[in-house]
Amino acid sequence: MITLEHVYILSGLMFAAFALGRARDRVHPRRWRSAAFWGTYALSFLAGSHLPDLVNGILLAVLIVLGASGLARPADAAPPTERLLASLRNGNRLFVPALTIPALVLIGSLFFRYLRVGTEPLVDPSHATLIALACAVLVALLLGYMLLRVPLSAPLTEGRRLMEAVGWAAVLPQTLASLGALFASAGVGTVVGRLLTQAIPMTHGAIAVATYALGMLVFTVIMGNAFAAFPVMTAGVGLPLIVGRFGGDPVIMSAVGMLCGFCGTLMTPMAANFNIVPAALLELPDRNGVIKVQIPTGALLFVANTVLMALCVYRH
Amino acid sequence: MLVLSGIAIVVLGFALRLNPLAVVGVAGLVTGLAGGSSLKGVVETFGHAFIENRYVGIVWLVLPVIGLLERAGLRERLQALIIALQAVTMARVLVAYLLLRQLSAALGLNALFGHAQMVRPLIAPMAEAAAERTSAITNATRMEIRAYAASADNVGNFFGEDVFVAIGSVLLMKGFLQQNGVVVAPLDLARWAIPTAILAFAIHGGRLMLFGRRVQRAQPSNP
């Protein structure tokens, strides 16, 4: 059966190739630090499932230290004239590999479940989408070589250029998700929930709604993830007060409350994979550039959501 | 109360614009120690969670393809196409992508598009090219267009996915409520995500149109 582990090995090989490419780049002053960073990340993909937790923790510590101490800047892109000539030569064939990726992800996530070897599924059904993404990338690469005239080394050199533009931010989402796990095991959520309910007098249903909605927003901004905020706020404020004391509808409260949290996700650097990584990927000089354009939408939508909940939750 | 020190470190670290990776590492260490774990225990918990969350990094697999296509002139080809299509304005590119992203996420296909596979190679270059059709744009405007392109992806993704019944957040809500003795149907949860989905499209789509008008006004008109 093809599992997530195979995709991890493919990813690990790619990061290892980036590390080697960086190490062979003789001129760059920070090449060893960068090569060690991508090499360590590669190791966590290749061997992480078999290493003890302590060693994996040390790998993460190495990534944090190397990443925070400054990595090499990416190489320059090919000169514009060269790319323009290539674009004239390749024409609309360029779109074939680009659109292959979403098309194959769609097909894979819908139809992988029907592929079987004997009685066993060919592809792990619980991770069909991620495995489909990896397959789609391989097919798109093959199509790229077949349809376009590009140097053989282009995927690795150009892929490394993009990866280095993202730099340390590449491992931030994964590190933040791990911080969430630490917060959970240390009981941060319950403490925050208790503080909130003690601080605000819940004399009226509308106050409970406002506290719940605002709590979802603030807690999501802090944790970077509405999924972490939902259990805390729902157990602390939602169920005992909105549903229990004031008789609100749990469905409306939960659905709209979660979306209040999503408004917070638009506004926080802690949601790194949505806000910080794209800023790096798009080569914005300000790493909060994406958040800045999202704050008005997040704020307006949050107010709308709170009003929606206050109007609907007690009326059923 | 001591366990909250990690949150304080995160807030302070981001406010002082320190390296987020270092801030998160220190916050995790402090939180774990304050929660009563040993240093070894904290490193182990951190390491275990880091390995468990590797799936977040799989998206980087698309970079070699995107790099290859950019090297082969994808951006330049898009520019040539967009400039020829007069009806395609920057705002329309972004609103159309917002709608596409939201609808596909509402069908449970939120992995189909994203920043690495769509925004960087296709959407941002299209929006930039459309804005540049009549006259040059400043570098600051170019960066703002890219930021808006990323925001269209996020808003569409977040406020589309909850309309789908089998998405993680809907199942999380159902599971958590069930643990607490409240039985709800996922379909009802998904249904109550629709009003917000419509509001999100109206608000963000409206802001994208306003941004388009602002960019157009800032440009010197064509002779």
- Interface ipTM above 0.90: no
Question: Is the pLDDT reported for residue B94 higher than 60?
Answer: yes
Write out pLDDT tens, residues A139-175: 999 999 999 888 888 899 999 999 998 889 899 888 8
B173 touches chain A (CB under 8 A): yes
Range 88-117 of B in CB contact (< 8 A) with A: 109, 111-113, 115-117
Our count of domains for chain A comes to 2
A208 with A174: CB under 8 angstroms? no
Does residue A245 fall inside a structural domain?
A: yes
Shortest distance between the Cα of A157 and any Cα of chain B, in A, equals 8
Indicate whether A304 and A218 sit together in one domain. yes
Query: What are the tokens at B154?
Result: 């996020």
- Flag if A56 and B56 touch (Cβ within 8 Å): no
Shortest distance between the Cα of B222 and any Cα of chain A, in A, equals 25
Query: What are the tokens at A118?
Result: 């004997």
Strand partners, A134: none
Does residue A38 fall inside a structural domain?
A: no
- Flag if A258 and B169 touch (Cβ within 8 Å): yes
Shortest distance between the Cα of A148 and any Cα of chain B, in A, equals 7
Distance CA A275, CA A270 (A): 8
Distance between start and end Cα atoms, chain A: 49
Provide the number of CB pairs (under 8 Å) joining chain A to chain B. 408
B122 touches chain A (CB under 8 A): yes
Indicate whether A201 and A259 sit together in one domain. yes
Residues from chain B contacting residue A269 (CB–CB below 8 Å): 14, 20
Distance CA A96, CA A111 (A): 21
Indicate whether A210 and A133 sit together in one domain. no
Instruction: Tell me the average pLDDT of chain A.
Output: 89
Distance between start and end Cα atoms, chain B: 66
Does residue A166 fall inside a structural domain?
A: no
- Flag if B64 and A176 touch (Cβ within 8 Å): no
Question: Is the pLDDT reported for residue B221 higher than 70?
Answer: no
Question: Is the pLDDT reported for residue B223 higher than 70?
Answer: no
- Flag if B143 and A285 touch (Cβ within 8 Å): yes
Q: State residue A2 phi and psi, 5-degree precision.
A: -85, 120
Indicate whether A197 and A146 sit together in one domain. no
Q: What is the predicted pLDDT for the residue at B151?
A: 97
Distance CA A17, CA A157 (A): 9
Question: Is the pLDDT reported for residue B129 higher than 70?
Answer: yes
Does residue A132 fall inside a structural domain?
A: yes
Q: Which residue of A has its CA nearest to B63?
A: A159
Q: State residue B157 phi and psi, 5-degree precision.
A: -65, -55
Does residue A72 fall inside a structural domain?
A: no
A309 with A209: CB under 8 angstroms? yes
Mean pLDDT to the nearest integer, A115-139: 87
Shortest distance between the Cα of A114 and any Cα of chain B, in A, equals 18
Instruction: Tell me the average pLDDT of chain B.
Output: 89
Nearest to A186 among B34, B51, B67 (CB): B34
Does residue A112 fall inside a structural domain?
A: yes
Indicate whether A104 and A207 sit together in one domain. no
- Residue A51: which residues within 8 A CB-CB, separation 6 or more? A59, B51
Does residue A123 fall inside a structural domain?
A: yes
Indicate whether A197 and A133 sit together in one domain. no
- Flag if B32 and A92 touch (Cβ within 8 Å): no
Distance CA A255, CA B195 (A): 11
Indicate whether A145 and A192 sit together in one domain. no
A316 band by pLDDT with thresholds 50, 70 and 90:
low
Write out pLDDT tens, residues B141-184: 999 999 999 999 999 999 998 888 767 788 888 888 888 888 88
- Flag if A278 and B27 touch (Cβ within 8 Å): no
Nearest to A133 among B10, B111, B162 (CB): B111
B2 touches chain A (CB under 8 A): no
Write out pLDDT tens, residues A49-104: 999 999 999 999 999 999 998 887 887 777 888 888 888 888 889 899 988 988 89
Does residue A67 fall inside a structural domain?
A: no
Shortest distance between the Cα of B84 and any Cα of chain A, in A, equals 14
Write out pLDDT tens, residues B44-66: 999 999 998 888 888 899 999 99
**Residue A84 structural domain:** 80-150
- Residue B189: which residues within 8 A CB-CB, separation 6 or more? A251, A254, A255, B162, B165, B170, B173, B174
Shortest distance between the Cα of A203 and any Cα of chain B, in A, equals 23
Separation in Å, CA B35 to CA A60, A105, A112: 20, 42, 43
